[in-house]
Amino acid sequence: MNQIILREKTYEFRRFRIPVSVKRVWFYLNAPESRIVVICEIDPARTRMPGDSPLPEDGVGNREFNMFQKDWNGLDYAYRVKGVWALNQPLTLQTLKQRFGMKGPPRALMYVPKIILEAITSVDQQCIWTTEEQKPEPTAIDIVSAPQKMKSMKRKLTEEDISEVEPQKIKRRRSLRLSSRCSLLKTSSCDAMDVD
């Protein structure tokens, strides 16, 4: 997750195809964090089927995906990350249970419940970066998925890291302590939750 926030990783790789209707993914960070901090806007899946064009080699993992490296077996779907938002107040597991009625943490890809989408609006999010000219308004669809084994960074994301990423777009600076293990929440046909 840190590599996406720092724009070092331009695609998120998954073993499954996320429906084309999903435009944003809410990442649930597994224990010990146990919270949703980041929402990513994504493009539809790219595959490495015969005849498909390769990914641009402008980010971590893209070359390995294109070359069918052994460690990437099964990670057949690549989703370009078009923007990253941080929640002003992370949604902890306790909040998800008490306020939004979830029985436990997200364990697999799921749509973000409507009650969460109605409660967490664009006012509750800060754009960290986007590839679009203007910040798009959040849509009504988000997904959550099960954890994927990916190489983790050797350090936590710091305020200094965030300040280096288009700081004019960040109104409040918060220390985003993200682990390499994340989940994704999906609300409607546009938003989903996932575990990374």
Q: What is the mean pLDDT of the chain?
A: 79
pTM: 0.71
pLDDT band at 28 (very low <50, low <70, confident <90, very high): very high
Q: Which of 17-21, 88-92, 124-128, 142-146 has the lowest mean pLDDT?
A: 142-146
Q: Given this model, what pLDDT does residue 169 score?
A: 37
Q: What is the pLDDT of residues 135-164, one digit of tens each?
A: 445 444 444 443 333 333 344 555 554 544
> Is 107 domain-assigned?
yes
Cβ contacts of 8 within 8 Å, gap of 6 or more: 59, 60
Q: Yes or no: say if 182 and 4 are a contact pair by the CB < 8 Å rule.
A: no
> Is 58 domain-assigned?
no
Overall number of domains in the chain: 1
Q: Given this model, what pLDDT does residue 133 score?
A: 54
Q: Given this model, what pLDDT does residue 147 score?
A: 38
Give the pairing of strands 191-195 and 24-29.
Answer: parallel
> Is 32 domain-assigned?
yes
Q: What is the pLDDT of residues 98-114, one digit of tens each?
A: 999 999 999 888 999 99
Q: Helix or strand or coil: residue 125?
A: strand
> Is 61 domain-assigned?
no
Domain that holds residue 139: 16-46+80-195
Q: Given this model, what pLDDT does residue 42 score?
A: 97
> Is 54 domain-assigned?
no
Question: Is the pLDDT reported for residue 36 higher than 90?
Answer: yes
Q: What is the pLDDT of residues 44-77, one digit of tens each?
A: 999 998 889 999 999 999 999 999 999 989 999 9
Compute the 3-state secondary structure of the chain and give helix, strand, coil in percent, each to the nearest 5.
Answer: 20, 30, 55
**Rounded Cα distance, 8 and 135, in Å:** 20
> Is 105 domain-assigned?
yes
> Is 175 domain-assigned?
yes
Residue among 64, 144, 50 nearest 103 (CA) = 144
> Is 164 domain-assigned?
yes
- 10 Å CB burial of residue 154 (0-12, 13-18, 19+) is exposed
